[in-house]
Structure 1
Amino acid sequence: MNTHSIPEKELVAIILYISLFFIIVAVALIIFFYFSRKKIIQKELEKKDLVLQYQKEQLHAVIITQEEERKRIAQDLHDDISSKLNIVSLNSHLLTSPNLTEAETAEITENIINLTTKALENSRKIAHNLLPPVFEKFGLNAAIEELCEEFESSKAVKVYYKNEIDFDDKDIDRHLHVFRILQELMNNSLRHGKATEIWISFKITDQISFCNYEDNGKGFDAENSNNQKGLGMKNIDSRISFLDGTIEINSQINNGIAVMFTF
């Protein structure tokens, strides 16, 4: 009996050790997967936080840009419209004064006509800056052509515009972002870059719409990230994000700027 009981005990011990080994391996695997999963969840949360932070920054940039735009419109209305209408009102009251000579009446009337004409011109200009009528009527291509003509009318810059895309009228809301990006880039070229020539071209490659923009202005150090953090650039980034596009900016001091964006 004893000769059989020893191997039996050994067999039980072996089974116990094997079971214990598998339990330890199972526990180790559970712990490993638990911490791996925890790490993955943590990484995903961090990624979501970064996306939320980026969206927050974009929204912040859009709100600031809107406020700046409202401030500018309010200033334009106050300086160009309200002040002129105030003088029109004063002149109108002067017309009711007794004993006015014919020459005085004619002079006051001429003042009123001139000021009213200027106020009308300025109100049209403000409305045009908000949204050019040609954009709603004829679409993006016509609006860009008109924008180029407006910049050229200043005689300070020559604009070369080439378009190979047939813009779909159904995408007018998206096209407005493209128009505003170009408006911002052109304003920067003139105001900061002091450019005398601007090149704009649109083309489609592999069903992706591209816009190439260049100028011969002063340029800036593209390696310095601070140069790309201005309010205008944040506004452009926000619009590119709305378009699900990408943007690439290359520039060197005294060597102009080259921008390529997709939409």
Structure 2
Amino acid sequence: MNVGHIPEKELVAIILYISLFFIIVAVALIIFFYFSRKKIIQKELEKIDLILRYQKEQLHAIIITQEEERKRIAQDLHDDISSKLNIVSLNSHLLTAPNLTESETAEITENIINLTTKALENSRKIAHNLLPPVFEKFGLNAGIEELCEEFESSKSVKTHYINEIDFDDKDIDRHLHVFRILQELMNNSLRHGKATEIWISFTSKDENNICDYEDNGIGFDSSKIENQKGLGMKNIDSRISFLEGTIEINSEINKGIAVKFTF
């Protein structure tokens, strides 16, 4: 068709229709990109909300754990230290009583010495639980070796510990979280799992430190979420998050527990 033979009105109409078509397509594209972008932003906001909620839960777990730890320390101080010091105070006042025989004075003095010795031992134990001196002086590897020895001293559990990592002493603050994770896992194995053997190993792969932990306890059904959401596990999750690591827990009834975490 020769454009020169198209009437001017039809040509104008064609141009208008084409323009209208492109306007509609442009509007449709704008609407499409607007809603697509809105959907992407919505998903990002939901993701951020989930992260914030997770962080809030972790912070809540840390606060609860700290409060439980404070209560435990306060209870230990009250039961083990304060009560003994009260008796020491009473015995000290008895020494001021008149007409005490030599044997009575010796007996009261012996009681004071015994009580102060026990109070001193208990205060050292409380301080040790807060931060083991060997961990502070010699690092994570020595701290875990001592932890294993302490558990074995109960004669109820055998530990097997292998370490292939040369831990950097500069990371002691981060290593304390690793130590606390293992402490929590071992306590759970003994108290709840009734385990008689525990295996701990540290290896390194692709610049990641890996800890494998196993016990031969009664285990639990790890497929049930509620079994992994106790206070202790929330505390462990919080520490793993701080270490920017990952954790995987597998367990079956009467088949012990297997935990792998990275840091």
TM range, normalised to the smaller chain? over 0.9
Deviations 1:32-65 (A, max 9, x none): 1111111111111110000000000000000000
Alignment partner, residue 146 of structure 2: 146
Deviations 1:192-241 (A, max 9, x none): 01100000000001111000000001100111111100000000000000
Counterpart-to-counterpart distance in 1, 2:178 and 2:82: 33
Alignment partner, residue 55 of structure 1: 55
Counterpart-to-counterpart distance in 2, 1:178 and 1:5: 87
Residue 10 of structure 1 aligns to a residue whose secondary structure is: helix
Alignment partner, residue 121 of structure 1: 121
Residue 26 of structure 1 aligns to a residue whose secondary structure is: helix
Q: Which amino acid counterpart does residue 125 of structure 1 have in structure 2?
A: K
Alignment partner, residue 260 of structure 2: 260
Deviations 1:81-119 (A, max 9, x none): 000000000000000000101111000000000000000
Residue 219 of structure 1 aligns to a residue whose secondary structure is: coil
Structure 1: which 4+ aligned runs deviate by more than 3 Å?
none
Alignment partner, residue 196 of structure 1: 196
Alignment partner, residue 224 of structure 1: 224
Counterpart-to-counterpart distance in 2, 1:149 and 1:107: 37
Alignment partner, residue 35 of structure 2: 35
Counterpart-to-counterpart distance in 2, 1:186 and 1:156: 12
Give how far 1:5 is off.
8.3
Residue 7 of structure 2 aligns to a residue whose secondary structure is: helix
Residue 121 of structure 1 aligns to a residue whose secondary structure is: helix
| % identical aligned pairs | 88
Residue 159 of structure 1 aligns to a residue whose secondary structure is: strand
Alignment partner, residue 168 of structure 1: 168
Q: TM-score, normalised by structure 2?
A: 0.98
Residue 209 of structure 1 aligns to a residue whose secondary structure is: strand
Alignment partner, residue 208 of structure 2: 208
The number of residues matched between the two structures is: 260
* RMSD after superposition: 0.9
Alignment partner, residue 75 of structure 1: 75
Counterpart-to-counterpart distance in 2, 1:9 and 1:225: 73
Deviations 1:115-147 (A, max 9, x none): 000000000000000000111100000000000
Alignment partner, residue 104 of structure 1: 104
Counterpart-to-counterpart distance in 1, 2:225 and 2:39: 31
Counterpart-to-counterpart distance in 2, 1:23 and 1:206: 55
Q: TM-score, normalised by structure 1?
A: 0.98
Q: Which consecutive residues of structure 1, in runs of 5 or more, have no partner in the other structure?
A: none
Q: Which amino acid counterpart does residue 173 of structure 2 have in structure 1?
A: D
Residue 117 of structure 2 aligns to a residue whose secondary structure is: helix
1:155 aligns with 2:155: yes
Counterpart-to-counterpart distance in 1, 2:137 and 2:5: 100
1:187 aligns with 2:165: no
Residue 166 of structure 1 aligns to a residue whose secondary structure is: coil
Q: Which amino acid counterpart does residue 72 of structure 1 have in structure 2?
A: R
Alignment partner, residue 89 of structure 1: 89
Residue 195 of structure 1 aligns to a residue whose secondary structure is: coil
Deviations 1:153-186 (A, max 9, x none): 0101000000000000111111000000000000
Counterpart-to-counterpart distance in 2, 1:6 and 1:217: 92
Q: Which consecutive residues of structure 2, in runs of 5 or more, have no partner in the other structure?
A: none
Counterpart-to-counterpart distance in 1, 2:186 and 2:94: 45
Counterpart-to-counterpart distance in 2, 1:182 and 1:6: 87
